[in-house]
A and B are shown apart, each in its own frame.
Chain A
Amino acid sequence: MKPAPFDYHRATDVDDAVAALHEVEDGKAIAGGQSLIALLNLRLARPELLVDLNPLSDLDYIEPTQDGGLVIGAMTRQRSLERSTLVRDRCPIMHEAMPLVAHAAIRNRGTIGGSLAHADTGSELCTISLAVDARMRVRGTNGDREIKAAEFFDGPLTTVLEQDEILTEIVVPPPPARSGAAFAEVSRRRGDFALAGVGGVLGLGNDGRVTHARLSYTSLGPTALRSPHAEESLLGNHLNDEAIEKAASVVGEDLSPSDDLHATAAFRLHLARALTKRVLHTAAQRAAT
């Protein structure tokens, strides 16, 4: 199980990486490589050129923003996110989910940018980027642009990134006022990709009614997905059992899971509903305190 041959370029800076990718037909940027190298070893990925972003240590940072949010460099290791007090305080849902990402040895190499750009439907970070309305800052031959998480994922293992574009920074806006967030998933074993996962961020008004709702899903479609129907059903309501039941009952409108060896689409949907309720209860509790 050895990779097919490929050329290798050690990037010196982002522009150099972009230029290297631009020069070839089928180049691929490698960040942590924790999904990509497995695919290379299995010969399921066979780029002609790998452009290594690991030398770009200036993309490894977690910094607070004035507005209470965060900017995170794309090459920040998952392990750093897990251990960061800034992430804990300013993006608690990410803090909650990080230990569920594979195992420590993987998180030591895996990066936030790599996870998002790989766009696996089973990726917790993709789900969370939707839940927190993250924005992706990217650079390509045509310059810099910023893409909303909601517009970033394009299909199975696919994003809207151009072949020569590189994700450089993730902007995490501050949580809404009086907010609560929660993440929950069901996986077969510790560290496995989830059969289903749900991230939820709620904001409450002074009257206790929901003013902000984000619900996003892992392994419930070709890529990470939000449930606008469920979000919509929550807005303007108190977070009582009835509202939570209602939200859970409509998530199916937005999700499109498929069958695989480990779970049928029907079971995944069942889990999505069950976890939606669990996440909403937890998030409501957290918002109330």
Chain B
Amino acid sequence: MTGTESRYRYIGRPMPVIEDRRFVRGRGRYINDLAMPAMLHLAVVPAPVAHARLLGVDASEALASPGVVTVLTGADLVTMMEPVPQELPLPDVIWYPLAVDKIRYAGEWVAAVVATSRAAAEDAAELVVIDFDELEPLVDPRRAMQPDAALLHEAQGTNVVWNERHTWGDVDGEFASADHVFEYSYRWNRHSGVPLETFGAIAQVDQTGILEIWASHQNPDIQQEAIRVMRTPKVKVHMDIDIGGSYGSKRGRKQMYLTAAAAIRTRRPVKFMEDRIENMQASDGHGPDRYYTVKVAASAEGMVRALDIDVIEDLGAYCGRGPRQITKPTSAVVGPYRIPAVRYGGYGVLTCKTNQVPFRGAGQSPHNFAIERTIDLLARDLGMDRVELRLRNYIQPEEFPYEIPGGAIYDSGNYPGAAELAMKQARFEDLLAEQAEARAAGRLFGIGTAGGIEPGGAAAEHGEGVRIEVDATGHVVATIGFQSAGQAHESMVTQLVCEELGVEIEDVIVQRGHGLGGIYAGAPTGSRMTQMLGTSIHQCAKKVRAKLTAIAAFTLEVEPDEIEINGTDYRVAADPSRKMTWQQLAKTAYGPRLKNPPGMEPGIVELNVYAGPDIVTKRKLTTGAKQFPTYAFDFHVVVAEVDPDTCEIKLRKYLVVHDCGTVLNPLVVDGFVYGGIGHGIGGAMYENFAYDENGQLMAVSFMDYLMPTAAEVPTVELHEQCTPTPLHPYGAKGAAEGAYMTAPAAIASAIEDAVAPLGVRITEVPITPQLIFDSITAARSNA
């Protein structure tokens, strides 16, 4: 938008973020800051082993411990609630917040102690005695898939709960006629969002019998699920606290239900604030955990003709939301490439680990990693330039809307444009010269590139609602149905209300609601809020303007279509001196009925729910494929250097070109891009929820789960390209996930390029000094 006069007053401007003023003073209000009178505290008892038959839980000593009010076990919960719903309909995979008949992973919660303080609850939790009979720990999904492996859920008859394979296009024909066929394998180890705030919940039954729940939960649609699970329609999930980070992972459903059960049992408010170990071991918060096999068919010129992608996904002990992360990539299964035929499928396998959560991109990041690694390795094996191979295979700007195998339609994009801009800004030629010099001096200096697609607007068929009220003094109250975790939603809503209604920032109040507040709210997932809520505000504001126009027309005695809006003035187009100001309109709407058009409801209160564009809601795709409304793109250039002596890896340069169409607020979108790269560096080089062979999680603290600090993240140079989407009133696409979706691929590309002279290929994340050492050692012994 730079360089041209914007048609917007607020959109595109770096608007200071409203939420920041409270956060810098420590005045954010998070779940851990809430306290109720006479509130009790809950601590859980973790299972000591990974897989066992649960023979008994003896809480007698714990119950006698000072301050203890009650102890809940799985057996109690079975009588109090329905099982926690899972992604797939699996009647024989039954999941409760506390283990019932079996222990299925180390750290799984077996009992919950409720006491007058958290310390007292922890004291007593140590006194709970668990009687169990150990079974084979299932740590590797490839083992768990075998017919003789122990079964995690015996009644299910198998540990494989998702097994699909979809063929789109003439895959077999392309492979049969291809000039070149290569096969590569990749390993994506577990990491996740790991917010600095653990999950917390408070529950109480209010004086009217309503079960109230406050939680650091990101998704308002939990209200409907809570009603079913807790077997009562009288549920009120509050959505008005600040969440200390989520990235998709704050969905502690079992935590909320457990806390609710404790509140119902004790008839007192109960708080459960996970500690870090509870969070790491058993919060159902881990991300994808995959083994990939990718076959690629290519022509002699390097045109990719077909991909055959096989995924083994380690879901953890219950189905949770994991399978969603396997299927999401079908919405962008070919990435930015013009590939006519794809086979995609694999296995979702239950193992002795905590459940997956859909973390930032819901499985797209490993998918992009697999695609971009494949392109790099194909280039290597064909002896072609990696960037040239990409440019040759990209979908071209004039080809949009573009239908990919499976049927998803990409709305718009300019992939070569972004790539070329990145190369230019990075002075790619200079980098190559620098690399030649470094290599000549014996240094391991690598340049990496990767581009990635960010599908935006997840599950658009679920609506997103807003209520806009203009009170009698002209202030605007916008009520939304969810609380946010750093996405600056209050600022976005304010900005759009100002843009649409012409009011000033200080005239707008954004209110966050609750489950009984009458706002249809889905979930801030899949980069959808600017898409969904943004469009909803646009539509709702139109209703407000229509009503104000009707009042103005009635008062000024003209037809509504003779009214034009100038800022906040509603005036007669033919005679602008005849007008009603905003304050006059607001006062009139709440004033004597005779001053309002006949039959019009008094007041200005408009409700709107937007359900997504027709391309998502009115098209049926091939079985197995998904469609998102918009597709953003980014292209990364990374320079990495590996110390040949110590195998330490340093990122020397990081440049990204980001294209999410219209940027509403650059301060916010830049932050998403930077933050995504931070997560990408973590996943690519540092973070790993590794389990030992007995199924014990080895990274249960921040001493072992290594999130990058400021010293590990290089300065990121960010450039924008703007290819607006036709599917959004302002042309904006989703933006919060893309950089994370592409960064691991770009970093792997750079590190591989650094060690390529030693014959090393990078096919796994995290890429640690240990991995480099092992790879170099292996390459030397092969040579």
Contacts and interface: CB of A to CB of B under 8 A. Distances in A.
Whether the complex brings A and B within 8 Å at their CB atoms is answered yes
B704 A261 contact: yes
The 10 closest A-B pairs by CB, nearest first: A190-B711, A1-B275, A2-B119, A274-B645, A261-B698, A267-B773, A186-B646, A2-B122, A263-B770, A267-B770
Contacts of A278: 645
A192 B770 CA distance: 16
A262 B690 CA distance: 10
B770 A264 contact: yes
Contacts of A261: 688, 690, 698-699, 704
B124 to A, nearest CB: 12
A60 to B, nearest CB: 28
Interface in B732-783: 768-770, 773-774
A5 B709 contact: no
Nearest to A41: B275
B691 to A, nearest CB: 10
A189 B122 contact: no
B443 to A, nearest CB: 15
Interface string A183-221: 000101111110100000000000000000000000000
A89 to B, nearest CB: 28
Contacts of B646: 186, 271, 274-275
Nearest to A46: B126
Interface string B600-616: 00000000000000000
B665 to A, nearest CB: 32
A190 B712 contact: yes
A270 interface: yes
Interface in A67-107: none
Given A190-B709, A190-B712, A195 B686 contact: no
B711 A262 contact: no
A195 B768 CA distance: 12
13 contacts: A1-B122, A1-B275, A2-B118, A4-B126, A5-B123, A186-B646, A189-B708, A191-B711, A261-B688, A262-B704, A262-B770, A267-B774, A274-B645
B711 A189 contact: yes
B704 A191 contact: no
Interface of B: 118-119, 122-123, 126, 275-277, 645-648, 686, 688, 690, 698-699, 701, 703-704, 706, 708-712, 768-770, 773-774
A42 interface: yes
A195 B643 CA distance: 15
Contacts of B704: 261-262
Contacts of B701: 42
A43 B701 CA distance: 13
Given A188-B706, A261-B704, 18 more contacts: A1-B275, A2-B118, A2-B122, A4-B123, A4-B126, A43-B122, A188-B769, A189-B686, A189-B709, A189-B712, A191-B709, A261-B690, A261-B698, A267-B647, A267-B769, A271-B646, A274-B646, A275-B646
A263 B708 CA distance: 18
Contacts of A4: 123, 126
Contacts of A266: 773
Contacts of A262: 704, 706, 768, 770
Nearest to B771: A267
Q: Is the interface of B mostly helix, strand, loop or mixed?
A: loop
Interface string A247-289: 0000000000000111110110011001101100000000000
A188 B686 CA distance: 8
A264 B647 CA distance: 13
A278 to B, nearest CB: 7
Among A262, A270, A275, max chain B CB count under 10 A is at A262
Contacts of A3: 119
B650 to A, nearest CB: 12
Contacts of B690: 261
Contacts of A43: 122, 126
A193 B708 CA distance: 14
Contact of B769 (A1, A5, A186, A260): A186
A263 B119 contact: no
A274 B647 CA distance: 10
A192 to B, nearest CB: 7
A161 to B, nearest CB: 25
A196 to B, nearest CB: 8
A42 B686 CA distance: 23
Contacts of B710: 190
Nearest to A262: B770
Given A1-B276, A4-B123, A261-B698, A195 B712 contact: no
A3 to B, nearest CB: 8
Given A261-B699, A275-B646, A1 B773 contact: no
A186 B642 CA distance: 13
Contacts of B119: 2-3, 5
Interface string A20-54: 00000000000000000000001100000000000
A1 B277 CA distance: 8
A263 B688 CA distance: 13
Contacts of A195: 769
A136 to B, nearest CB: 27
Contacts of A191: 709, 711
B307 to A, nearest CB: 34
A264 to B, nearest CB: 6
Contacts of B688: 261
Nearest to A193: B703
A1 B44 CA distance: 11
Contacts of B712: 189-190
A270 B773 contact: yes
A189 B706 contact: yes
A263 B769 CA distance: 8
Nearest to B117: A2
Contacts of B769: 186, 188, 195, 263, 267
A260 B770 CA distance: 11
Nearest to A274: B645
Nearest to B685: A188
Contacts of A263: 769-770
Contacts of A186: 646, 648, 769
A278 B768 CA distance: 21
Contacts of B699: 261
Give the interface centre of B126, B701, B706 by most chain A CB atoms within 10 Å: B706
Nearest to B276: A1
**B690, B706, B710, B770 — most chain A CB neighbours (10 Å):** B770
B710 to A, nearest CB: 8
B116 to A, nearest CB: 13
A8 to B, nearest CB: 15
A277 B277 CA distance: 39
Nearest to B688: A261
B434 to A, nearest CB: 24
Contacts of A264: 770, 774
A188 B704 CA distance: 10
A195 B770 CA distance: 10
Nearest to A264: B770
Contacts of A270: 773
A266 B774 CA distance: 10
A278 B648 CA distance: 14
Q: Which of A1, A42, A43, A190 has the most CB of B within 10 A?
A: A1
Nearest to A187: B648
B715 to A, nearest CB: 15
B712 to A, nearest CB: 6
B776 to A, nearest CB: 10
A4 B706 CA distance: 27
B272 to A, nearest CB: 13
A53 B768 CA distance: 40
Contacts of B275: 1
A260 B275 CA distance: 24
B78 to A, nearest CB: 29
A192 B645 CA distance: 20
Contacts of A5: 119, 123
Nearest to B773: A267
Nearest to B690: A261
B480 to A, nearest CB: 34
